[in-house]
Amino acid sequence: MSIIAWIILGLIAGVVAKLILPGRDPGGIILTIIIGIVGALIGGFIMSRLVGLSVTGVNIPSIIVAIIGAIILLLIYRVFASRRRV
């Protein structure tokens, strides 16, 4: 159940990350949402290992972790995508 919750949170986090970090991203909104899902999964995994945060559903701490993970991954993606275009 927790992986499904992180995927749902990732969808939300991808959209919120795109709103927080507007700009032209290669791949558009679909890729941003996928980055949000992956960022949420990675963020959830790291948080569960560091502080023992267990996701049992959609709640405020989980949403915050998912958004932070999505923002970090989106920033990393933008760095590598901009290097490839140069």
pLDDT in tens, 27-48: 676 777 788 788 877 877 787 7
Residues 57-76, mean pLDDT to the nearest whole number: 80
Q: What is the pLDDT of residue 17?
A: 81
Q: For residues 55-70, give the mean pLDDT.
A: 76
- The CA–CA distances, whole Å, from 20 to 5, 12, 39, 45 equal 22, 12, 15, 23
pLDDT of residue 65: 79
Q: Give the integer Cα–Cα distance in Å for 7 and 33.
A: 10
Nearest one of 46, 63, 60 to 8, comparing CA atoms: 63
Query: CA separation (Å) from 60 to 31, 45, 56, 67?
Result: 24, 17, 12, 11
Which pLDDT does position 11 carry in this prediction?
Answer: 81
Which pTM does this prediction carry?
0.74
pLDDT of residue 4: 76
Judged against a pLDDT cut of 80, whether residue 83 lies above it is answered with no
CA–CA dist 45, 47 (Å, integer): 6
Domain boundaries, the chain: 2-85
Close Cβ partners of 11 (under 8 Å, ≥ 6 residues apart): 33, 36, 37
Tell me which of 33-42, 48-57, 67-76 is least confident. 48-57
